[in-house]
Structures are given as structure tokens and as C-alpha cells.
Chains A and B, each alone.
Chain A
Amino acid sequence: MSSRRDFMGVALGGFTAVGGLAALYAMKRSWDPLPSVKAAGFTTVDVSAAEPNVLNVEKWRGKPIFVLKKTADMKADDRDIIVGSDRFHVSIGLCTHLGCIPAYVADEFKFKCACHGGEFDASGHEIFGPPPSPLEVPPFKVDGTKIVLGEAGPDYEKMLAAGLTV
């Protein structure tokens, strides 16, 4: 520090930098999803009346959720959710390529995406086209005949630990 002017310059610059960083943090936080948006993130689905191989689309956090009850002869999968004695495929219904909604073709047991031609099997695994990963399983908790979406139950934690969803 050779002179008082240098000191003043560095002091001013330092305070300005700290204030600027603080302002940047405030700006970043202002762009974050609001607490009310985050709190509204739970949906309860009663699956007791579900028909096998008929796709139900529920809404959770604004996203479509595929709920598909598997028939006895459909292939079982590690990602199936077991409710009572039934197996369900539950996933976020957005193609993992760029987020379009695939349609379920019941005859072929396939999800097909119209946007870029991606296909998934009835367990949500990618089998054709550009999707790089399987349909994602949302956080869930089985509660009797109901599935609570948005809450991470023990079955979901197990899937997560096994790397079966993100």
C-alpha cells in the first residue's frame, strides 16, 4: 500500500466486490422456485381401481405421471412398484430426450414419442431412438392402496441406491 489513494481505491473496490457478490446471490435466489411451488409438490394416487394394461396419467408438479398396472404375463422389472399383490409401472411421462409426452400403445406394450421417434417398453426402458435413459421414477411412497408422489419411501430409496432412477 504505497499511498492513501491506493488504500482508498482498494478499500472501495473490496467493498464494492463484496456488495456485488451479495447482490448476485440475492439475484440467484430470486430466480429459485418459490417455497409455495415446492410445497405443492405432493400428489396421492389411489390405485385400487386400476385396470391392467390401461395407462392412467396423473399430474404431479405439473408433469404427467404414467401409472400402468401390469398384467400377470407382462415382464416384471426392478422398478415395478408393488401395491398389495399387483405390480405397477410408475414414471414421469416425459421423454428423456427432450421432454415430450410419449403415448402408450397397449397392443405393443410400448410407449412411443411423437417428437423424435423414441420408444420405451412397458417398464420405461428405452428400446429405440434418441432417448438416452429410461423414463424416470418419481419419488414415491406406498401407503395401503395409495401411492404418494413426491415423498421418498423405503422402496424408492432402494431404487435410488441401486441407481435405477435419478
Chain B
Amino acid sequence: MAKFEKANSINEWMDQRLAVNTLKKVMQTEYWIPKDINFLWAMGMVLAATFGILLVSGIFLLMYYKPDVNLAFDSVNYTIMTEVGYGWLWRHIHGVAASLVFLIIYIHMFTGIYYGSYKKGRELIWLSGMLLFVTFSAEAFSGYMLPWGQMSYWAGMVITNLFSGGSLEAYGLVEWIRGDYVPGDAFLTRFFMLHVLLLPLAIIGLIVLHFGTLRIPHVNNQEGAEIDFEEAAELYKAGKVKESKVIPFSPVFLSKDIFVMGVYFILFFYLTFYHFQFAMDPVNFDPADGLKTPAHIYPEWYFLWSYEILRPFSKDLGLIAFGIAQVIFLALPFLDRSPNVAPASRRGLFHIWFWIMLIDMLVLTFMGKLPPQGIWNTIGLVAALTFFALWIALPIITKSEKKL
């Protein structure tokens, strides 16, 4: 038994047993953030807050949802929406948050790309972040199955069919994933399990890892400048707050984050209360019917760009292109051969690369929503080819980049 002195306050009592003061220093008051940043640096905490909201609204939906092909549709559209007090609120919050979380993830990603925040010691931040993107995608897809409407069923059918591997015709694998010949009860209950337990656990673990990977290389700054964090921290602690290049994570940086969150939540609740329809596909208000395909099957807006990469090619080529598009962003830190950590505006050709990539993904997103005919087909094909051309060009243009 270790020796304990009598504590004079609750804080001291806790500190003796849990080292809460050290913990607070390490995690908050002496976790240093550069000053030279802008509102885009708040997206991480905006994402954390949105995930918290998804968790809370999800818990309330979970109390009335029934994972059974005969009961699921009514438990959502009748019980939760009309009977449960404020059940509609949890559903609309959950749907809007699931959509907005991807908007913020994309902003967060492109901020990282623009400022080179995936290089020179920050590779793991990027990799863990991309793993989060993949698990969030799986989480969104599995959640989309749960209301068991027409879009749930047919999205489930089409997406699980992707695992047949085109000409490999691995239908055994597809049936194994579904637990049935078509999406049925076994399919719904296992995706329910994934959505409410396994994937959220993985997401929470990855968020912890993502924060952990930030600790040693520290957050990047607007100039990509290397900062002597120890020296800057000493200055700050000595009271020379103005001269120091850093601020503590909490309360200083966090208070700014919370301001940005405030602005974000105005948008969030505006959408929740006045424009929730954008996150609710009308086709999904028809119950699932395995003998009737809806006229158009398209994913939610955040998957449209990769869906559009699948579409213009033949089946096998489309699957390969789709597979590459899903994972290619993971390779970004290794395909960017430039030694410079700097905003794209100072990196010559990479600056052009960045904006073409951003515009190309927007074009792919819009084309994914339009019917596959005439000129839209051509634009979609060109945009898909541009996507791959950009990734092939990346190592070449960054290799020839001059050292700043």
C-alpha cells in the first residue's frame, strides 16, 4: 500500500489517487497549439462534437428501433416518428448529423491536403484520419440499412454485390456477408450489430489513436513552419504570452473552437428543424420490396464521387477503379515526394493539382446524381479519368518541386 497524506480538498484527494493535475497538464493546459492557424483548424473538434451528437441521438433511437424485417420500417416511421415524444427530433438530428459529419470530414481532409499536414512526421495523423473516414463510411452505410425502406434494401443489394468481385463471381462471399441469398433478416440484424456496437467501438478507438498521433508532431500551422515547441512553451509559461508562438489547447484554443462550433451549430439546427428532408430520401419511405427495384438507385451525396467513378466503366474495370478510389487517399503522404511542408499556394504545380482535385471531386459528385445519359456520361468519364490522372501526376510534379 502506497503512503497517502490526508487531502485538504476534493481536487487534492482526486490528484493523489488519479494524478488528475498531471493529466490536466498533459491533455489541456500544457498541450501546445500554434497561434498561426485559422478557423479551419477547428474542424477536428467540430467533428468530435458531431460524433457526440450522433451517439446521444443514436442512444434514444436505439430504445425503440426493432431490428427485424417485419418490424423495422414501422418502428422507425410509425413508433419513433409519431408515438415517441420528440422521437422525430432524434431521428432528424441523427440524419442531419450523419450527412454533415461527412461535409466536415471533407473540409478537414482538404484542409490537411492544402497545408501539407500529412508530411514529415504527420503521416500517422493522415493514415488514422483516413481509417476514420473508412469506418465512418461503413457506419453510414450500415445505418442506412436500418429503416428497411426501398433505398435501404436496394443499396444493401447493390453494395454487397460489389463483393462478388465482378468476373470473379464470388457469390458465396456475397451470401456469406448477407447470411442469406438476398438482404433479409440475418442481413438486417448483423448490420444493426455493426452500426450500434462494433463500428462505433472502432470509431472511438480510432479517434483516440488520431488524437495520439497528433501529440508528438503537433498540429500544423498556416505556414508549415517548424516550431520549437519547448522554447515557445517556456516563453508562454514565463508570462510572455504575446511573444510566444503557441497557446495551450485548453482553455485558450478550445474557446476559439467553441466559437466556431457555435456558428456550425446554427447551421446544424437550422437544417435539423427546417431542412431535414435533404437527409431523408423519399424513396426510403416505401417499405423494402425485393421484387421491385426503384427507378433510380443512388447513394447519399457524400458517396456520389466514388459511385461516379464506378459507373462509366465496364463492370470489372469499374470495380477496380472504385476499389482504388476508396484507398488511394491513404497513400497521399507517400505519393507526395516534395520535402516542403507549406500551404499549397506556395508550392507551384501542387497548387494547381490541389484545386483541380477539389473541383474534380465536386464534378464527380454532381455527375453521380444526374442520370447516366448523353453529355453527363461523357463529363463523368472525363472526371473519373482526371481523378486517376491526378494521382499518377502527383509523385511526378511533387518530385520536381523546388525546395523552399
Q: Which residues of A contact B (CB under 8 A)?
A: 28, 31-34, 37, 41, 57, 59, 61-64, 97-101, 114-117, 130-132, 166
Q: Which residues of B contact A61 (CB under 8 A)?
A: 181-182
Q: Which residues of A contact B373 (CB under 8 A)?
A: 117
B28-60 interface code vs A (CB 8 A; 1 in, 0 out): 000000000000000000000000000000000
B148 to chain A, nearest CB (A): 14
B334 to chain A, nearest CB (A): 31
B291 touches A57 (CB 8 A): yes
Interface: B63 (CB within 8 A): no
A132 touches B176 (CB 8 A): no
Which residues of B in the span 284-331 have a Cβ within 8 Å of any Cβ on A? 290-293, 295-297, 311, 314-316, 318
A132 touches B180 (CB 8 A): no
A38 to chain B, nearest CB (A): 9
Q: What are some 20 contacts across the A-B interface (CB < 8 A)?
A: A31-B176, A31-B177, A31-B179, A31-B190, A33-B178, A33-B186, A34-B179, A37-B180, A41-B181, A57-B291, A61-B182, A63-B290, A64-B290, A97-B315, A99-B157, A100-B157, A101-B292, A114-B295, A115-B296, A132-B314
Interface: B184 (CB within 8 A): yes
Q: Which residues of B contact A (CB under 8 A)?
A: 154, 157-158, 161-162, 166-167, 169, 171, 175-182, 184, 186, 190, 290-293, 295-297, 311, 314-316, 318, 372-373
B179 touches A37 (CB 8 A): yes
* Docked CA distance A37–B181 (Å): 8
Closest to A98 in B: B158
Q: Which residues of A contact B177 (CB under 8 A)?
A: 31
A33 touches B179 (CB 8 A): yes
* Docked CA distance A64–B6 (Å): 75
B291 touches A64 (CB 8 A): yes
A132 touches B182 (CB 8 A): no
A119 to chain B, nearest CB (A): 14
* Docked CA distance A100–B181 (Å): 14
* Docked CA distance A63–B292 (Å): 10
Q: Which residues of B contact A101 (CB under 8 A)?
A: 291-293
Q: Which residues of B contact A28 (CB under 8 A)?
A: 176
Contact A130 to B176, CB < 8 A, known contacts A33-B186, A99-B161: no
A33 touches B316 (CB 8 A): no
* Docked CA distance A158–B188 (Å): 37
* Docked CA distance A130–B377 (Å): 13
Which of A33, A59, A62, A99 counts the most chain B CB atoms within 10 A? A99
* Docked CA distance A145–B311 (Å): 42
Closest to A63 in B: B182
Closest to B157 in A: A99
Which residue of the partner chain, among A31, A114, A132, contacts B316 with CB atoms under 8 Å?
A132
B293 touches A115 (CB 8 A): yes
* Docked CA distance A149–B290 (Å): 18
Q: Which residues of B contact A33 (CB under 8 A)?
A: 175-176, 178-181, 186
